[in-house]
Amino acid sequence: MQTPIRQRVASIVQKPEVKRLLTAQEIIDREDRFGGRHFKLLPVVLTRGQGVFLWDVEGKKYLDFLAGFVAVSQGHCHPRLVKTMRDQAEKLTHTSRAYYTEPLGALSEYLTNLFGWDRFIPMNTGVEAGDTALKLARRWAYRTKKIPSNRASILFAKGNFWGRSLAAVSSSTDPNCCTDFGPFMPLFDTVPYDDLKALESKFKADPNICAFMMEPIQGEAGVIVPTEGYLRGVGELCTKYNILWIADEVQTGLGRTGDRLAIDHEKQRPDILILGKALSGGMYPVSGVLADEQIVFGLETGSRGSTFAGNPIGAAVALEAVKILAEEKLAENAKNLGKILRVELEKLPKDIAREIRGRGLLAGVLVNKEIADGWDVCLRLRDAGLLSRPAHGQIIRISPPLTITEDQLREGIHILTSTVLSY
Ligand SMILES: Cc1ncc(COP(=O)(O)O)c(C=O)c1O
């Protein structure tokens, strides 16, 4: 039975304010006691980050091999990002899109010039940017492709992950994401990833498909790299059947896989590109969508918006974050160090490390469950001074900040390999 509200408020008011520093365990217990239950956290309490390193409340130093789920590509507390954020915070933080401010135009101009699409629509999180892309596709479906009203369908790759909103889980094939969240969005369909034949059959069978949304490398599915030629094939089929290609590069974009964008690997240009995560270097939630005029014009006044999207702090930080990626040549670093990473990890015995996946500094090691549990591996890595997290239980993610040096990477590889070999 629920405690009456008056009693609950009284018990909060009467609690003495805690003045001393909390222990790590107390911090964990408090968060576990008052927070939601939807995330299993590695038991470590972090208090500081610099570059590729993190420190816990007891002063222990860790190599960060997760980079905030790939958001902190520029490294923790990059001095240029901290300065930009501080400077902008002292001037103007938020006005809403009711008015013009200088930073958003600067960011949009920079991104459109850098990547070669006509326009940039800002959002905050990756899932909102994905939703924006789908709205653009539906408007295009009815107003340009002339699909009958309310009949436009959208195809997604199986194993996709683009967030956790109801629209996003409507396209999910992962039971953890979608079980008991129905009813789902109608006319969302899925097709096996990395299968051009299956894709063409779907395109042929349904003239009302307006868009195919996919990740050039599937991150959350366990770092699934498609076979060479898949991206080119997707581009050709989308053109042939007059279907918009939406590339979700929230995880793979902005240098992570060793190219500016993961689609650059096959020199492709989708109709709509979704960016997020590293777009603001982990300083502030900034995401967005790039597309050309003939697609963007479908969303007119009132059809899309968000209180915080495009605000001065986010836009200023994002502009500096993308400049850092280019000026510090972080994609090149990811490409070079990614090769070393792969060579070293491939030396692990295949009975323990079943598969090494990835490109650039987005990698995964599939650990044999019969020998070691993925969560336990991450606990041992933590004890040895490296932080990561498994995907789908057994895939140890490797995605350090792109500012990592060769020595730091080799140190991390040493911790990883000796930990895996300790089983
Ligand atoms: C490919 C991809 N798209 C979208 C998202 C959702 O981003 P956010 O968590 O910022 O909503 C993620 C998050 O991991 C992702 O990996």
Residue ranges of domains in the chain? 15-74+329-421, 79-327
Residue 163 CA: nearest ligand 1 atom is 6
Determine contact, residues 77/100, Cβ cutoff 8 Å.
no
Distance 423 CA to ligand 1 centre (A): 33
Q: What is the pTM of this model?
A: 0.95
Beta partners for 185? none
Res 141: pLDDT = 98
Residue 252 CA: nearest ligand 1 atom is 1
Res 7: pLDDT = 53
Confidence band (pLDDT; 50, 70, 90) for 19? confident
Identity at 271, one-letter amino acid code: D
Residue nearest to atom 2 of ligand 1 (CA): 162
Mutation test of ligand 1: which of 128, 174, 251 has the most ligand atoms closer than 8 Å to its C-beta? 251
Bond preceding residue 183 cis, omega within 30 of 0: yes
Burial environment of residue 148 by CB neighbours within 10 A (0 to 12, 13 to 18, 19 or more): exposed
Confidence band (pLDDT; 50, 70, 90) for 20? confident
Q: What is the mean pLDDT of residues 6-35?
A: 76
Concatenate the DSSP letters of all residues of 113-154 into one string: HHHT-SEEEEESSHHHHHHHHHHHHHHHIIIII-PPTT--EE
Residue 130 CA: nearest ligand 1 atom is 4
Mutation test of ligand 1: which of 134, 277, 283, 284 has the most ligand atoms closer than 8 Å to its C-beta? 277
Span 44-72, pLDDT tens digits:
999 999 999 999 999 999 999 999 999 99
Span 204-256, pLDDT tens digits:
999 999 999 999 999 999 999 999 999 999 999 999 999 999 999 999 999 99
| Cβ neighbours of residue 166 closer than 8 Å, sequence gap 6 or more | 181, 184, 185
Q: What is the mean pLDDT of residues 133-151?
A: 98
Q: What is the mean pLDDT of residues 272-277?
A: 98
Res 17: pLDDT = 62
Distance 32 CA to ligand 1 centre (A): 24
| Cβ neighbours of residue 83 closer than 8 Å, sequence gap 6 or more | none
β pairing state of 119-123 and 287-291: antiparallel
Distance 165 CA to ligand 1 centre (A): 11
Confidence band (pLDDT; 50, 70, 90) for 361? very high
Angle, CA of 109, 267 and 66, to the nearest 5°: 75
Mutation test of ligand 1: which of 39, 69, 162 has the most ligand atoms closer than 8 Å to its C-beta? 162
Res 352: pLDDT = 95
Torsion of CA 225, 341, 65, 251, to 10 degrees: -30
Q: In angstroms, rounded to a whole number, what is the distance separating the alpha carbons of residues 399 and 83?
A: 25
> In this predicted structure, which of 3-12, 137-146, 158-167 has the lowest mean pLDDT?
3-12
Q: In angstroms, rounded to a whole number, what is the distance separating the alpha carbons of residues 244 and 211?
A: 4
CATH top-level class of 79-327? alpha beta
Distance 200 CA to ligand 1 centre (A): 26
Concatenate the DSSP letters of all residues of 317-365 into one string: HHHHHHHHHHHTTHHHHHHHHHHHHHHHHTTS-TTTEEEEEEETTEEEE
- Report the chain's mean pLDDT, rounded to a whole number: 95
Residue nearest to atom 4 of ligand 1 (CA): 162
Higher pLDDT, 40 or 195: 195
Determine contact, residues 64/53, Cβ cutoff 8 Å.
yes
Would you mind telling me the total number of residues written for the chain in this entry?
A: 423
Residues with CB under 6 A from ligand 1: 69, 125-127, 130, 161-163, 215, 219-220, 248, 250-251, 276
Q: Which fold has domain 15-74+329-421?
A: Aspartate Aminotransferase, domain 1 (3.90.1150)
Angle, CA of 405, 406 and 411, to the nearest 5°: 100
Confidence band (pLDDT; 50, 70, 90) for 302? confident
Span 311-332, pLDDT tens digits:
999 999 999 999 999 999 999 9
Span 368-405, pLDDT tens digits:
999 999 999 999 999 999 999 999 999 999 999 999 99
Res 182: pLDDT = 96
Q: In angstroms, rounded to a whole number, what is the distance separating the alpha carbons of residues 195 and 230?
A: 8
Q: In angstroms, rounded to a whole number, what is the distance separating the alpha carbons of residues 167 and 185?
A: 6
User: What share of the chain in percent tops pLDDT 70?
Assistant: 96
Task: Report residue 362 as tokens.
Answer: 């987005």
Catalytic residues: 161, 248, 277
Is residue 262 helix, strand or coil?
helix
Distance 23 CA to ligand 1 centre (A): 32
Residue 165 CA: nearest ligand 1 atom is 11
Residue 160 CA: nearest ligand 1 atom is 1
Distance 164 CA to ligand 1 centre (A): 8
Higher pLDDT, 268 or 6: 268
